[in-house]
Amino acid sequence: MMHFLLLLSRQGKLRLQKWFTPVTEREKKKVTREMTLMVLARPPHSCNFLLWRDLKIVYKRYASLYFCCGLEDQDNELLTLEVLQRYVELLDKYFGNVCELDIIFNFEKAYFILDEFLVGGELLETSKTAVGIAMEEAETLQEVTHTQSLKCDTCPNISICFFFSLNRQWRSI
Amino acid sequence: MPAPIRLRELIRTIRTARTQAEEREMIQKECAAIRSSFREEDNTYRCRNVAKLLYMHMLGYPAHFGQLECLKLIASQKFTDKRIGYLGAMLLLDERQDVHLLMTNCIKNDLNHSTQYVQGLALCTLGCMGSSEMCRDLAGEVEKLLKTSNSYLRKKAALCAVHVIRKVPELMEMFLPATKNLLSEKNHGVLHTSVVLLTEMCERSPDMLLHFRKVCLLVPQLVRILKNLIMSGYSPEHDVSGISDPFLQVRILRLLRILGRSDDDSSEAMNDILAQVATNTETSKNVGNAILYETVLTIMDIKSESGLRVLAINILGRFLLNNDKNIRYVALTSLLKTVQTDHNAVQRHRSTIVDCLKDLDVSIKRRAMELSFALVNGNNIRGMMKELLYFLDSCDPEFKADCASGVFLAAEKYAPSKRWHIDTIMRVLTTAGSYVRDDSVPNLIQLITNSVEMHAYTVQRLYKALLDDISQQPLVQVSSWCIGEYGDLLVSGQCEEEEPIQVTEDEVLDVLEGLLVSNLSTPVTRGYSLTAIMKLSTRFSSVNRIKKVVSIYSSSIDVELQQRAVEYNALFKKYDHMRPALLERMPIMEKTASNGPTEIMQTNGETEPSVPDTKHLPLVTQPANQANDLLDLLGGNDVVPVIQTTLPTKPASAGGELLDLLGDLSLTGGPTVVPAPAPSVPVSQPPFLLDGLSSQPLFNDTSAAIPPMTAYSKNGLKIEFTFERANPNPNIAVITIHATNTTEADMTEFVFQAAVPKTFQLQLLSPSSNIVPALNQGSVTQVIRVLNPQKQQLRMRVKLTYTHKGSPVQDLAEVNNFPPQSWQ
């Protein structure tokens, strides 16, 4: 079981944090700080695995982001590298050539994708396409309920605009 | 009130801040706006505001005032609201706050919602952060969803069930019926999560494990699924670098591991598929190696046949030669786990492992070091030690302490000769002297004392080392102690092992005095050198110089030094007649084994042999831990409870005596066993134990070796004793026990304990291992040293504890059939 997943920028800023065990705010900050120190200090071509407290830490760098997760003893580290790779591929497919800025400006989407991929620290879906399909359908659902709530007071043209705007940047909160 | 700014807008604005203070200001302003918006109970923009709050929370600012708002969002009918609401709940709430319980009702409603994505949100949230109370309340809903035919919901329900079981293990039973046909699904998501659920259940409950193994016949099902995965053609949806759904494969292998552990039938059923996976998996990419890694772990853990085990170790050997650091690391970790059970197989890869010591990566170096120490044995000690000492020279400081300790331990166990042992330790002290542990100094001193024939060589080498460098305190301490003890050998140039050096008494005293004044010396070291100088007063002729030095330090600021100097001064002035006796050579020290449970020491306080030793107590004012060692040897009365001496009136007392000794080992299963032997002890025992003076006629046993004997043979466990005389002390019998096991199951956690009558002293050294392999495939050996100064008949009571076929076994026995030569 994964205990946590953190996305850290090269400057040490937190871009995403998912905790699968109950942890206090203070402890979360402490762990994040320690991870930042440990992972960012690693020389470029070193091993991707570390030992920290009683967890195995697996980290991988993708461009300017470090993906860092804490595993239990029986978890397979090599496979976790594949899990991280798969998550990045899902983000890439969704955003189209994903970069750090996408994750900064659309962090809630990154979380939604993560929630279709990992639950309770375990892998939920192994298919490459299922997560993408679920996201699309959920967003359609979002649009539908949104237009339903708008229909009562605005002109009908707006509802057509929404259906045309498949570009996700336009659909803002 | 104008509409609150959009989330993207806020993010853009905050990122333009050039300083931390500017950012904080923007955030505070926005937080204030959000707070007033919350107060106005604005439904339209609540979602936007909470989203902004979550962003600010990620930057590290407090966001607790948004917790209730998240709950309101969850309760809303809009899907957008629910999505952000649940996200906020997962980020801001956790089970420590009571607020989270308010979610329970919302989640319950959403679990029964008509839209699967709403149900999915609820399941996901419950599965990530549900507390035990929430899990208890909602387990029924989860169980219902586990049986649905909708695979999107089914897979989420499965992981939610895993979380429920982790939080409330008692609820495991209720999910059992739903697991019946989980594995017949075609959907990989459901299959994967089902395997995770089954794994969780099997790990937590042995009953469940048995149920799945025997009743549901899980193993054949899993083998079939795995086979299909491997044989199936290309599936674009699940393919990763040419391998079909590696995630599912690895999870299945992990479940097979749990099912096959200590079960022959299951292990046999999976032998073929494991061999197939091990040989057919493509190893060019990381994903293939991930599967092989899991396969190897499974093979090593179940009851696989030896051919498969060899295959597994060979895979690990190949991993070690892989260019990829991660794979080398993983191989070293796995080999470390298997080195106990498959020692010989791992030995074959020793040279590769030793090469990994030179790797640049810190994680790999550490693993390689641990594994190298595990592989050291009597045959390869010289070669291995050379490599390890080279590693010690060049490694980072964080490794030096552990490496030094490891070297000491290995040298102690397997040293081919005393000289080699001393040389090795000297090398460690000179290269990593400041990193060795504190107890290495007394241990080394003990070792040197006991190797009588090496004294001259040792003191010469240590003296030379001192001339080179006086900064490494442990080395300096040991050297000064040795010079104090054996200085006469040094000046007389008696060394046989190497070319003797020409040293005068004055030169030696110069060096020791130099230590006293040097800034590099710690107070402890100064204490050592002062005492050494004092000891030399009986070994050298230049007593006046020594008297002068000692009297100077009687006014030293350091209290410890001052006290020593004053006492030594007194020795010169008033007790000069006692000085030679007090300062004579230390006797050979009996080493107390440093591992706890297997050692039983007896006090021998009142009788003759201990009296001369007490004379040396005042001299042993050197570091506290060294003094403690000797106190232990002399049986400091607070260490072991003193056995009462009221024997004569109680016929069964002798057995009772021995009972007391084993009493402090907390005999729980013992009571019914122990009284039985007691009556069988003949009444004539009390005079035997009291009568310290009537000893058997002394025979000098100069003839051939003492025959071995079988001390214990029961339930398949046989313990044989072999004897030898310890030299140089003929009163010490060295017994080596060999424990072998003729049953079909290994005996694990094997612990051998012994107690002897009062007039003996007993020492147990550490055992070779604590697993007695089945079918006489190997044995556990352990060395016992018995000091028998009164040459009385040797008797021993032994206690054995081990685990056999999963259940603990304990037995007590008396050993009376020692051959007469062993104690005469």
Please answer yes or no on whether A46 and B78 come within 8 Å at the CB atom.
no
For chain B, which ranges sit under pLDDT 70?
A: 1, 590-705, 725-730, 824
Nearest-neighbour CA in chain A from B308: distance (Å): 21
Nearest CA in chain B to A43: B361
Q: CB of B299 within 8 Å of any CB in chain A?
A: no
Nearest CA in chain A to B63: A25
Q: CB of B246 within 8 Å of any CB in chain A?
A: yes
B47 contacts in chain A (CB < 8 Å): 173
Please answer yes or no on whether B78 and A76 come within 8 Å at the CB atom.
no
Q: Where are the alpha helices (DSSP H) in chain A?
A: 25-40, 77-95, 100-105, 107-115, 130-151, 157-164
Quote the pLDDT of residue B713: 85
Quote the pLDDT of residue B251: 96
Quote the pLDDT of residue B824: 65
Largest CA distance in chain B: 111
Quote the pLDDT of residue A150: 60
Residue B73 CA to residue B91 CA, distance in Å, equals 14
Nearest-neighbour CA in chain A from B235: distance (Å): 10
Q: B811 has which bridge partners?
A: B800
Q: Is residue B334 a contact partner of residue B292, using CB atoms and an 8 Å limit?
A: no
Quote the pLDDT of residue B326: 94
Residue B57 CA to residue A108 CA, distance in Å, equals 13
A45 contacts in chain B (CB < 8 Å): 325
Confidence of residue A160 (pLDDT cuts 50, 70, 90): very low
CB count in 10 Å sphere of residue B739: 24
ipTM of the complex: 0.89
Q: CB of B114 within 8 Å of any CB in chain A?
A: no
Q: Is residue B463 a contact partner of residue B490, using CB atoms and an 8 Å limit?
A: yes
Nearest one of B256, B230, B226 to B243, comparing CA atoms: B230
Please answer yes or no on whether A112 and B364 come within 8 Å at the CB atom.
no
Candidates A14, A83, A124; nearest CB to B58: A14
Candidates A17, A111, A142; nearest CB to B87: A111
Query: What DSSP string describes B523-557?
Result: HHHHHHHHHHHHHHTTTSS-HHHHHHHHHHHTT-S
Nearest-neighbour CA in chain B from A157: distance (Å): 21
* Better pLDDT: B419 or A165: B419
CB count in 10 Å sphere of residue B743: 15
A86 contacts in chain B (CB < 8 Å): 240
Crossing angle of helices B246-260 and A77-95, in 10° steps, is 150
B254 contacts in chain A (CB < 8 Å): 74, 76
Residue B300 CA to residue B291 CA, distance in Å, equals 14
A134 contacts in chain B (CB < 8 Å): 117, 120, 152
B336 contacts in chain A (CB < 8 Å): none
Please answer yes or no on whether B240 and A82 come within 8 Å at the CB atom.
yes
A48 contacts in chain B (CB < 8 Å): 325-326
Q: How many CB pairs under 8 A join A and B?
A: 173
Candidates A18, A141, A172; nearest CB to B117: A141
Candidates A120, A129, A141; nearest CB to B237: A129
Place of tokens 């092992």: B497
pLDDT digits (tens, 9 = 90+) for A26-69: 999 999 999 999 999 999 888 999 989 999 999 999 999 999 99
Please answer yes or no on whether B8 and A105 come within 8 Å at the CB atom.
yes
Please answer yes or no on whether B363 and A107 come within 8 Å at the CB atom.
no
B315 contacts in chain A (CB < 8 Å): none
Sign of CA dihedral B373, B376, B381, B382: negative
- Measured CA distances, B780 to B22, B316, B582, B783 (Å): 70, 28, 43, 10
Please answer yes or no on whether B245 and A126 come within 8 Å at the CB atom.
yes
3-state secondary structure B226-244: HHHHHHCCCCCCCEECCEE
Q: CB of B193 within 8 Å of any CB in chain A?
A: yes
Residue A71 CA to residue B298 CA, distance in Å, equals 19
Candidates A77, A108, A115; nearest CB to B330: A77
Testing the interface with A: which of B146, B166, B193 to mutate, by most A Cβ within 10 A? B193
CB count in 10 Å sphere of residue A172: 13
B289 contacts in chain A (CB < 8 Å): 78
B356 contacts in chain A (CB < 8 Å): none
A112 contacts in chain B (CB < 8 Å): 83, 87
Quote the pLDDT of residue B775: 82
Q: Is residue A2 a contact partner of residue A20, using CB atoms and an 8 Å limit?
A: yes
Candidates A20, A23, A142; nearest CB to B80: A142
Quote the pLDDT of residue B579: 82
Candidates B55, B94, B188; nearest CB to A22: B94
Residue B423 CA to residue B403 CA, distance in Å, equals 16
Candidates A13, A129, A141; nearest CB to B115: A141
Examine the pLDDT at A154 and tell me if it is beyond 70: no
Crossing angle of helices A107-115 and B46-59, in 10° steps, is 90
User: What radius of gyration do chain A's Cα atoms show?
Assistant: 19
Please answer yes or no on whether B79 and A141 come within 8 Å at the CB atom.
yes
pLDDT digits (tens, 9 = 90+) for B479-490: 899 999 888 888
Nearest CA in chain B to A129: B237
pLDDT digits (tens, 9 = 90+) for A88-146: 999 999 999 999 999 999 999 999 999 999 999 999 999 999 999 999 999 999 888 77
Nearest-neighbour CA in chain B from A153: distance (Å): 14
Candidates B117, B162, B325; nearest CB to A47: B325
Q: Is residue B542 a contact partner of residue B505, using CB atoms and an 8 Å limit?
A: yes
Candidates A105, A119, A129; nearest CB to B127: A119
Q: CB of B295 within 8 Å of any CB in chain A?
A: no
Collect contacts of B673-681 with beta carbons under 8 A, ≥24 apart: B673/B811, B673/B812, B674/B812, B677/B812, B677/B814, B678/B652, B679/B652, B679/B655, B680/B655, B681/B652, B681/B654, B681/B655
Residue A22 CA to residue B533 CA, distance in Å, equals 63
Candidates B47, B286, B330; nearest CB to A173: B47
Nearest-neighbour CA in chain A from B11: distance (Å): 7
Quote the pLDDT of residue B429: 86
Q: CB of B237 within 8 Å of any CB in chain A?
A: yes
Nearest one of B344, B326, B324, B346 to B335, comparing CA atoms: B346
Cis status of the peptide bond prior to B728, with omega within 30 of 0: yes
Q: For chain A, how far is it from start to end, CA to CA, in angstroms?
A: 33
Residues 6+ apart with CB under 8 A from A97: none
Residue A86 CA to residue A88 CA, distance in Å, equals 5
Nearest one of B518, B519, B510, B451 to B485, comparing CA atoms: B451
Give pTM, 2 decimals: 0.69
Nearest-neighbour CA in chain B from A20: distance (Å): 6
Please answer yes or no on whether A122 and B193 come within 8 Å at the CB atom.
yes
Nearest-neighbour CA in chain A from B316: distance (Å): 14
Please answer yes or no on whether A47 and B60 come within 8 Å at the CB atom.
no
Candidates A104, A138, A172; nearest CB to B117: A138
Quote the pLDDT of residue B695: 40
Testing the interface with A: which of B84, B247, B362, B370 to mutate, by most A Cβ within 10 A? B247
Largest CA distance in chain A: 60
